Amino acid sequence: MEKTLVLIKPDGVKKGLGKKIVKYYQNAGLKMIKRKEIDPTPQLLKQHYFAHVAKPFYPDLEKFMLSSHIVVMIFEGSDAVAIARKVTGATDPAKAEKGTIRRDLGDLSLPDDDRIMMNLVHASATKEEAEREIKLWFG
Ligand code: ATP
Ligand code: MG
């Protein structure tokens, strides 16, 4: 059984999409084994997004991520990492496939940069990333 980390970003929280989002992962066969609401700190976010901290969009991303609480969850299942990524959809909701969270529930009317930033959820991209992120948020 594999575990992966999913995080509902502030846009998903503010729009009340939590339950709908969880259903997408459950319908894909994954089981939610942990869930908590958390007010992240800038320090935690820099650790979570260490690969992006030096990028030009990071200050806006951090500000956005601090704009409400977030929901962090662990989903479990066979091939959980790949399945959760597939259900999440591409980073840009406009380019994500239909049937994915980002495409179905994302705000396609936003300007490019905002739409890419406010894409509702985060899901670990690899098994290693999942292990690191589970330790970071639930350690
Ligand atoms: P995530 O890691 O959140 O699941 P991802 O793996 O699809 O998303 P990454 O390349 O890891 O995408 O980017 C992390 C997050 O940073 C994106 O989900 C998005 O919120 C934000 N982001 C990425 N690129 C941009 C950009 N060009 N402008 C604004 N925000 C961006
Ligand atoms: Mg990523």
Entry field: residues in the chain: 139
Instruction: Determine the residue of 24, 65, 91, 133 to mutate for testing ligand 1's pocket, defined as the one with the most ligand atoms within 8 A of the Cβ atom.
Output: 91
Residue 35, domain extent: 2-138
Q: List the catalytic residues.
A: 122
Q: Ligand 1: which of 75, 120, 122 to mutate, judged by most atoms within 8 Å of the beta carbon? A: 122
Q: Note the pLDDT of residue 83.
A: 98
Note whether 15 and 9 are within 8 A (CB): no
Per-residue model confidence as pLDDT tens digits over 24-39: 999 999 999 999 999 9
Report residue 119 CA to chain centroid gap: 8
Number of domains in the chain: 1
CA angle 19, 95, 26 (to 5 degrees): 25
Torsions phi, psi of 39, nearest 5? -95, 105
Arithmetic mean of pLDDT, 81-107: 98
pLDDT band at 22 (very low <50, low <70, confident <90, very high): very high
Give the tens place of pLDDT for each residue, 46-78.
Answer: 999 999 999 999 999 999 999 999 999 999 999
User: Residue 74: helix, strand or coil by DSSP?
Assistant: strand
Report pLDDT digits (tens) over 104-137: 999 999 999 999 999 999 999 999 999 999 999 9
Residue 112, domain CATH: 3.30.70.141
Reduced DSSP (H G I as helix, E B as strand, rest coil) percent helix, strand, coil of the chain, to 5:
45, 20, 35
